[in-house]
Structure 1
Amino acid sequence: MKQFRAAVIAALFLVGAAAPVAAQDVTLTSRDGAVEITGTLLGFDGEFYRVDTVYGELTVDGTGVTCDGPGCPNLIDFVAELAISGSATMGDVLLPALVEAFALRNGYRVERVITDTRHFEYHLFTPDPGRKLAEFTFRASNSDEGFADLLADEADVAMSLREIRPTEAQRGFEAGLGDMTDTNRSRVLALDGMVAVVAPGNPVGAISVQQLAEVFAGRIDSWAALGGPDAPIGLHLLAPSSGLSQAVEDQLMTPAKLPLSNLIERHDRGAALVSAVTRDPFGIGIASFAETGNAKRLVLTGTCGFSLEATRQTIKTEDYPLTAPMFLYFPARRLPKIAREFLAYTRSPSAQVVIRRAGFVDQAPEEVPLAVQGDRLANAIKVAGDDLPFEELQGMIDTLRPLARLTTSFRFQRGSSRLDAQSRSNVQQLARAIEGGSYDGRKLVFVGFSDGEGPAAGNRQIALKRAEAVRDAVLSAAETANPEQLAIEVQAFGEAMPMACDDSDWGRQVNRRVEIWVK
């Protein structure tokens, strides 16, 4: 028995534990007949079998075994399968656009098969004679159901507008999906923002983040309190199970320590929400940046006079405080080759173009010269004073003038030294760009900024430590990079260039950041 088990361990890669199987529909036998495993076939990617056995869930190299039993796949006409479930915001437009672009890029013929409003499939074929290569099945619902399908082994990829909850991650680990909080188990596909929208004729043009929270808590219930007409405010949000709605609770309501009002009208789709707000002269909603349609977007402002509008650039840099990264989550198991190729394609430069054209915010870095950053420079001048002499601002301008700011920025989770989700993705993006030689012969400067709480000298030191931590994380991730091919520096200017008011948790969060400047 020991010899048999040793042979099994040598031949197989154990990826997780599972309960004893109730049925056994395949038998895998090594070419020399020395090892034989029976179990329930969980999947086949064209190269590897995934089998639930009495020893747990095992992944077996198909080249080393023969398969017998009713569950054995057809090796000659193998069709790869990929099940994707979750956020309708991502599933309705973004993922289909990427699948179609991926097929076009590889010369595949593609067919879309619609089952109902939530379920559809993409079939990929070779151009001639038209053999089917893959079936990508979609269930476009919400983030909660996407994670539920992933945990139930009914989906290979979950689409979400929020990070996985600790309870979901724990259940996933117990189910053998691996550590779903690990960087390798998720990916930021694109970026989005949570935008306050009103009807086009509404005279109100701006709202503070605190006011927005109080509106959706029902504490501010008249437009007169916001400079508008003396009329009641109608509230609109997506369904509670929506990832965007949950992100509103996490990023807007929780920091304000306020509950959502019970008078909110809920909608299943972003388009339905925006349509309702557009028809309601006294309504307000929080919509996805990509789905604001004909509604009027409100600018976020603060008591100090700073304002932030949701744009591609402010969302990409996370300067806009209510950003919503769009995640793909996948378990620690091998996906079919064509599925892996598709996921790799979603990170390519051409995929970033597709993401932009679909109305979402891509992650391709852009360079912004100092000369077109007038609002930021005005903010810097505004905070000059005894604690922050004008001479220090002049030194900052002299340092940054020959450089351009990358839209790749880094921020930390509230009350933590850990980078937030978008920033962790940015570490990988920047590391891959460095490894690929995108910045060879150039200079990268990691520049730390802080909020204005406390002495300016102390804030500069904190900002410097954050910039050094981000530099170290990027260089650690860029394992194959040659550091001699580029120059890397670290600078810190503390509170010298605020993006938002320091009178709120949101504003301070936006101001605490590490930027990348290039020459």
Structure 2
Amino acid sequence: MSRSKRTVVVLAWLLGSILAMVAGAEPLSVLRVQGSNTIGTSLIPALIQGLFQARGLEAVGIVPLPAVNEWRVQGRYPLGAEIEARIDAHGSATGFAALARGTADLAAASRPIHPVEEAELYGQANPALTGAEHVIGIDGLAVIVHPNNPLRSMDAAQLADVFAGTLTQWEQLGVPLGPIHLYARDNRSGTWETFRDLLLSPRGLNLSAAAARLESSEDLSAAVSHDPQAIGFIGLPYVRQSRALAVGDGEAQPLHPSTDTVATEDYLLSRRLYLYAPAGGASPWASALARFAQSDAGQRLVAEQGFVAQQIHPVNPQPSSLMPAGYLALARAGQRLTVNFRFAGSSASLDSKAMADLERLASYLRSHPRDSKRLVLVGFGDTKSDPDRAELLSRLRAMTVRRELARRGIVAQQVLALGAAMPVASNTYESGRARNRRVEVWLQ
């Protein structure tokens, strides 16, 4: 055993002795996480279990509590002292409320913090810039139907009309199944809020009162898989026996939710998964969990739980005659990396996830030195009244990524600016325009 490892073990024993004297027979509570049912059901307990094991604790286990969607993760130090973490997973909104009350050390959320919540918790500070916001993985909202439903894809506008109750019969979508049965998550769910904010609210629509509302992701998935007339939406790990549809949006071609389309956030209903710390700073265990969740070990657990990890790997896109000439050449001869850089507002300023992705990309390229010599950055933008302006902004965004990589010792060989070409979402709404403002990373 190395000297550093022996030091860690000795410190763990000493800490265990102290905890034993303080805690007595009862486990000492060291961490409280509240919020999202989507990630609190399995991912957060698995991450805490992994963190405890990495810290040298023994007999680490996840214990379900009597209340639905509540857990305790327990572990024991080598000298016998026990500690525990508590997880209450009743919806993203409940996590932010718990942070405001001071009854949680971290809020788990399957959607970004809302402006009202941000103002209450952080005042004028931006949690993405102060280190309070941590993106721990990516998910895709899968639109699910019964496995025998012959429908294969839907447009975003159709989806909005279905869930608003404007389209009520499967025959209106070309499927002879009769009335459409709607299933949706409850109002406290980040899954529901993401679906609402991406599809319903931009169109001025509300969810149909006929929709069945469920708190549990597992229950919703099971209900859809047993109802031939059903349609619902759920996080990617919960598709299970139901079947996911491809989703398109105007000019953007329908895409199925897959590891690659969600990792790049090209899939229309992709979303980020978050941990938020209090404004005054995270506790030592909360900070440790946020770091562990973004480590290689943590990201492996993200993938094991059915979500999409942020680790980078190359893919081989299918060339299409619809691609611009320069992009088509890349698709024919190159590989795309599963990372996209997106920007705050309509600016060329990288968002919080992009800054972390810069480090991931630089690390990946350092470990693949041959690849770093053939790096191409492809910039895109949303539709502008002046096509030249759209092209200029897409170039500026690609140059921003190029500059940040150069600061990390990585030189991009080429920049390709494609303006408003190849949208991945409709430019009619701001949520779509934000998704279109991106920089892709290619190896040529």
TM-score range, shorter chain: 0.7 to 0.9
- 1:130 equivalenced with 2:80 (yes/no): yes
The code of the aligned residue for 1:88 comes to N
RMSD (CA atoms)? 3.1
Using the alignment, how far apart are the partners of 2:275 and 2:252 within structure 1? 37
Using the alignment, how far apart are the partners of 1:348 and 1:74 within structure 2? 27
Shift of 1:180: 3.4
- Whether the aligned pair in 2 keeps the contact of 1:453 and 1:502 (CA below 8 Å) is no
Using the alignment, how far apart are the partners of 2:103 and 2:402 within structure 1? 39
The code of the aligned residue for 2:247 comes to L
- Whether the aligned pair in 1 keeps the contact of 2:202 and 2:429 (CA below 8 Å) is no
Q: Of residues 101, 105, 112 in structure 1, which corresponds to 2:62?
A: 112
Tell me the equivalent position of 1:406.
Answer: 337
Shift of 1:74: 6.9
- 1:424 equivalenced with 2:384 (yes/no): no
- Whether the aligned pair in 1 keeps the contact of 2:20 and 2:81 (CA below 8 Å) is no
Shift of 1:256: 2.0
Shift of 1:104: 3.2
- For residues 96-135 of structure 1, give each alpha carbon's deviation from its aligned partner in whole angstroms, at most 9, with x where no partner exists: 1122223333432113343322332212222x33333x32
- Whether the aligned pair in 1 keeps the contact of 2:251 and 2:426 (CA below 8 Å) is yes
Shift of 1:326: 0.9
The code of the aligned residue for 1:364 comes to Q
Using the alignment, how far apart are the partners of 1:278 and 1:359 within structure 2? 18
Tell me the equivalent position of 1:465.
Answer: 396
The code of the aligned residue for 1:513 comes to R
Q: Of residues 241, 249, 267 in structure 1, which corresponds to 2:188?
A: 241
Label 1:142 to 1:366 Cα distance change in 2 as closer, same or farther (>3 A): same
Q: What stretches of structure 2 of length at least 5 have no aligned partner?
A: 1-10, 12-17
Label 1:182 to 1:405 Cα distance change in 2 as closer, same or farther (>3 A): same
Tell me the equivalent position of 1:262.
Answer: 209
Q: How does 1:170-209 map to 2 (within 5 A)?
A: 170-173=119-122, 179-182=126-129, 184-209=131-156
Using the alignment, how far apart are the partners of 1:433 and 1:305 within structure 2? 27
- 1:373 equivalenced with 2:327 (yes/no): no
Q: Of residues 60, 66, 72 in structure 2, which corresponds to 1:121?
A: 72
- Whether the aligned pair in 1 keeps the contact of 2:19 and 2:81 (CA below 8 Å) is no
How many pairs are equivalent?
A: 419
- 1:514 equivalenced with 2:434 (yes/no): no
- Whether the aligned pair in 1 keeps the contact of 2:261 and 2:267 (CA below 8 Å) is yes
The code of the aligned residue for 1:434 comes to A
Q: Please give the secondary structure, in 1, of the residue aligned with 2:42.
A: helix
The code of the aligned residue for 2:115 comes to P
Q: How does 1:257-406 map to 2 (within 5 A)?
A: 257-301=204-248, 306-368=253-315, 372-374=316-318, 377-378=319-320, 381-382=321-322, 393-398=324-329, 403-406=334-337
- Whether the aligned pair in 2 keeps the contact of 1:320 and 1:510 (CA below 8 Å) is no
The code of the aligned residue for 1:463 comes to S
- Stretch moving more, 225-234 or 73-82: 73-82
Which structure exhibits the higher relative contact order, with contacts defined as CA atoms closer than 8 Å and separated by 6 or more residues?
2
Q: How does 1:54-65 map to 2 (within 5 A)?
A: none
What is the TM-score when the length of structure 2 is the normalising length? 0.84
- Whether the aligned pair in 1 keeps the contact of 2:72 and 2:86 (CA below 8 Å) is yes
Using the alignment, how far apart are the partners of 2:285 and 2:377 within structure 1? 37
Tell me the equivalent position of 1:99.
Answer: 48
- For residues 336-384 of structure 1, give each alpha carbon's deviation from its aligned partner in whole angstroms, at most 9, with x where no partner exists: 544433321211112211111111111111112xxx311xx31xx236x
Label 1:303 to 1:137 Cα distance change in 2 as closer, same or farther (>3 A): closer
Using the alignment, how far apart are the partners of 2:427 and 2:360 within structure 1? 34
- Whether the aligned pair in 1 keeps the contact of 2:30 and 2:285 (CA below 8 Å) is no
Using the alignment, how far apart are the partners of 2:266 and 2:311 within structure 1? 16
Using the alignment, how far apart are the partners of 1:343 and 1:304 within structure 2? 38
Percent sequence identity is: 30
Using the alignment, how far apart are the partners of 1:122 and 1:321 within structure 2? 35
Q: What stretches of structure 1 of length at least 5 have no aligned partner?
A: 1-45, 47-72, 384-392
Larger radius of gyration: 1
What is the TM-score when the length of structure 1 is the normalising length? 0.73
Write 1 or 2 for the structure with the bigger share of helix: 2
